Amino acid sequence: MAAGNYRYVIVGAGSAGCVLANRLSADPACQVALLEAGEPDRRREIRIPAAFVKLFQTEYDWNYRTTKQPQLSDRELYWPRGKTLGGSSSINGQAWTRGHRADYDGWAQTCPGWSYDEVLPYFQRAERRVGSNAGGVYGTAGPQFISELRDPSPTTAAFLAACAELGLRRLGELNEPDNTGYSPTPVTQRRGLRHSASDAYLRPVRRRPNLTVLTGAHAQRILLDGTRATGVEYRDAAGVTQRITASGEVILSAGTVNSPQLLMLSGIGGADQLRTAGVEPHHDLVGVGANLQDHLACGVIVHCPKPITLVAADSPVQLVRFLLARRGMLTSSVNEAVAFVRSDPALTAPDVELVWLPVPFVGEGLTPPPGHGLTLAVEFLQPESRGDIRLASADPAEPPVIDPGYLTADSDLRGLVAGVRIAERLCDTAALRPYVGAPMAPYPGTVDDAKLETLIREYAQTAYHPVGTCRMGTDDAAVVDSQLRVRGLHGLRVVDASVMPRIVRGHTHAPTVMIAEHAADLIRASKHQPEPGPANIA
């Protein structure tokens, strides 16, 4: 079914799109259509928590590559992005981290309504915490299951003990408003299985008569009548071009790469840039695709003298444990514990995240580990480097140009070096020493700062958290206003990770779900309000 009279047409069934489809179709009077370019999320590896790297470079992955990064030895980095129901939440590492209070209070300086105290109810509305909930940090009645790992590696307990040995702060719950400290990672799992945004928000409401979900539906451009978005043109699974109309709003939830691409394909973006790509400009909005930010990751990788790491997760014993009891190594999210630390005590919020992985994570996750080993990954949380997404051509089938501009700010490299030094100290504690063997390539062991910088340039990879390319704000370069409406147009919003003005001090799935929960209220409320004039450009 294509045409139909929908009030809302949502593009992209990822972390944000699934939330919106659920919340907006809760009103039986609203017809909602959800378009997803990928196929349904049926593959077994989506359910198996530890198997997400097996989905890399399959039909469930957009399988993007960045441009050559001059500051990273001219390497083109691999960027996986989920292409199925659940989007990236169907292939991600399942960590549920909200970030730090300061992230949202920072947003609120230019975006009213997005302070920590204002967004907290939306996190909690999403959450269904299973198990401990010290201080009532989490919501307990939402759709998204948040669990502890069922069978963490013994090395993870050693990592947590190492953090204590270095005097770091043990968090009662990882998602306290100030996340400075260490903790096991809470995960989006339900009884040992991945619980994606599709599982949480879409599957339970698929039978609603007013919700239409179209898979294999690749949106090509937004249909515009003057300054109003009226629908979407897409290619269906058979390769036929179809049109779908929205009487209320078109909502882009196609993610940080594809939402700006779709705006630009529709003539919305910097006019000169659009012309260069062969697209006739319709609405000059210079910030579309700009402000790209990501967490870059590198780490300490070592051999483990004990054969107990997740390298054995594929063994028949583990498979049987998983199939019979939903237990064992296959229930691991791979990133099993984290520490958020301040590399400088003068800071008021963490600038470095250390992520404990009881496996050697090498070759961007595409190379099989060479033997038992461990990774203590380091992410610099508040990078100053900025990149952009641009059109390669006017052809919607052609991937856009992704230039994250990694390490274009020197301070980011210094932050990573500082983080690796903390990781090395942790690996040298009494708690971890029994598990830490010789360095594993490409990590060379402790070297001086200059050599470490070279190594970072040669092997750092994405931590999979790109955000910011349809930035919310009020200045001329902002793409959406604080109600997530595309500035200067009617009936068009962007709701996904791309609207974040600044990357958070944590992973990006939970903040994206929160953004969509908040957006659902904004959209429902605006149904009853007069629309702003073309000057929703502040």
Ligand X SMILES: Cc1cc2nc3c(=O)[nH]c(=O)nc-3n(C[C@H](O)[C@H](O)[C@H](O)COP(=O)(O)OP(=O)(O)OC[C@H]3O[C@@H](n4cnc5c(N)ncnc54)[C@H](O)[C@@H]3O)c2cc1C
Which positions are annotated as active-site residues? 465
**Whole-angstrom distance between the N-terminal and C-terminal Cα of the chain?**
39
| Cβ distance to ligand X smaller for residue 258 or 343 | 258
Which member of 100, 496, 505, 523 binds ligand X (CB under 6 A)?
496
Q: Which pair of structure tokens corresponds to residue 176?
A: 């306290």
Amino acid at position 64, single letter? Y
- Measured distance CA(132)–CA(154) in Å, rounded: 20
Contact characters 134-163, ligand X, x per CB under 6 A:
------------------------------
| Cβ distance to ligand X smaller for residue 46 or 95 | 95
Span near ligand X by CB under 6 A; candidates 33-41, 64-72, 300-308, 341-349: 33-41
Q: Is 404 in the site for ligand X (CB under 6 A)?
A: no
Q: Is 291 in the site for ligand X (CB under 6 A)?
A: no
Which member of 95, 205, 337, 436 binds ligand X (CB under 6 A)?
95
Q: Is 253 in the site for ligand X (CB under 6 A)?
A: yes
DSSP result, 90-144 = GTS--B-----HHHHHHHHTTSTT-SHHHHHHHHHHHEEE-S--GGG-S-SSSSE
Q: Is 71 in the site for ligand X (CB under 6 A)?
A: no
Minimum CB–partner distance for residue 321 and ligand X (Å): 23
417 CB-side CA count, 13 A: 16
Which member of 88, 156, 382, 482 binds ligand X (CB under 6 A)?
88
| Cβ distance to ligand X smaller for residue 230 or 462 | 462
Minimum CB–partner distance for residue 50 and ligand X (Å): 12
Integer CA distances (angstroms), 20 to 146, 211, 251, 320, 377, in order: 19, 11, 9, 37, 33
Span near ligand X by CB under 6 A; candidates 6-14, 120-128, 324-332, 432-440: 6-14
Which member of 22, 31, 89, 155 binds ligand X (CB under 6 A)?
89
| Cβ distance to ligand X smaller for residue 300 or 334 | 334
Best CA proximity match to 491, nearest among 112, 16, 10? 10
Which member of 30, 46, 77, 82 binds ligand X (CB under 6 A)?
82
Integer CA distances (angstroms), 236 to 36, 42, 244, in order: 10, 19, 11
| Cβ distance to ligand X smaller for residue 85 or 452 | 85
SS3 426: helix
Q: Is 41 in the site for ligand X (CB under 6 A)?
A: no
Q: Is 499 in the site for ligand X (CB under 6 A)?
A: no
Question: Across-strand partners of 429?
Answer: none
Contact characters 196-235, ligand X, x per CB under 6 A:
---------------------xxx----------------
Which member of 93, 369, 387, 501 binds ligand X (CB under 6 A)?
93
Bin 69: left if φ > 0, else alpha if -120 < ψ < 50, else beta: beta
Q: Is 25 in the site for ligand X (CB under 6 A)?
A: no
- Look at the alpha carbons of 340, 342, 348, 351 in this order and tell me if their dihedral is positive or negative: negative
Bin 366: left if φ > 0, else alpha if -120 < ψ < 50, else beta: alpha
| Cβ distance to ligand X smaller for residue 37 or 423 | 37
Minimum CB–partner distance for residue 516 and ligand X (Å): 7
Question: Across-strand partners of 338?
Answer: 183, 355
Angle at which helix 15-24 crosses helix 509-526, to 10 degrees, equals: 30
- Measured distance CA(58)–CA(481) in Å, rounded: 36
Q: Is 292 in the site for ligand X (CB under 6 A)?
A: no
Residue nearest to ligand X (CB): 14
Best CA proximity match to 10, nearest among 516, 522, 529, 464? 516
Alpha carbon 450 to its chain's center: 31
Q: What b/e string do you get for 500-525 counting C-beta neighbours within 10 Å, with b at 16 or more?
A: bbbbbbbbbbbbbbbbbbbbbeebee
Size of the residue set binding ligand X (CB under 6 A): 43
Which member of 22, 92, 183, 382 binds ligand X (CB under 6 A)?
92
- Measured distance CA(440)–CA(492) in Å, rounded: 49
| Cβ distance to ligand X smaller for residue 417 or 469 | 469
Judge contact between 159 and 118, C-beta under 8 A: no
Q: Is 497 in the site for ligand X (CB under 6 A)?
A: yes
| Cβ distance to ligand X smaller for residue 151 or 336 | 336
Minimum CB–partner distance for residue 383 and ligand X (Å): 15
Q: Is 94 in the site for ligand X (CB under 6 A)?
A: yes
| Cβ distance to ligand X smaller for residue 54 or 342 | 54
283 CB-side CA count, 13 A: 25
Which member of 11, 149, 330, 492 binds ligand X (CB under 6 A)?
11
> What does the binding site for ligand X look like in residue numbers (CB under 6 A)?
11-17, 35-38, 80-83, 87-89, 91-95, 97, 217-219, 253-256, 258, 262, 335, 464-465, 496-497, 507-510, 512
